[in-house]
Structure 1
Amino acid sequence: MTIEQFRKVLGARPFRPFTIHLADGRSAYVPHTEFVSESPSGRTMTVHQTDESSEIIDLLLVTSLAVAAPNPKAPSNGQQA
């Protein structure tokens, strides 16, 4: 996966949580953009978890991103539901 592809999912508005799947079978859940930090080179990301643990992920080992379905109750055009 390229950094541009990752940034597109991370920067989507409205943000939708997603799970990163890796080549070795591991996965990491990203509940919000604040849980991810990018290395200066853009090749690795640190994904922080709610339990204060973190995982450094090499984007070359990402096999897929599973993006959560949109919230059907959220207004899509700025109007109240």
Structure 2
Amino acid sequence: MESLNVPRKYREMKSFWKYYSGEEVAPIPTIFIGGNHEASNYLWELYYGGWAAPNMYFMGYAGVLKFGNIRIGGLSGIYNARHYKLGNS
């Protein structure tokens, strides 16, 4: 929980660990991209994307994939004019 970038009052275990551990399987294919409040220390292992859990695909922090006849693209981050030219470090 210490790796979550959220106020302490929101640091509580929800249900994703059950999917991550394989205890449960998502009922439908689930595709997600890196955001601001996930446990990034776990998802860092899949920086460029990959299967985070059975039936759950992590797109990484930027990417495009084709799912059936649909092309899905995602780009993680928050636009902030003060930080725009700093890069991603």
TM-score (norm 2): 0.26
Larger radius of gyration: 2
TM-score (norm 1): 0.27
Higher strand share: 1
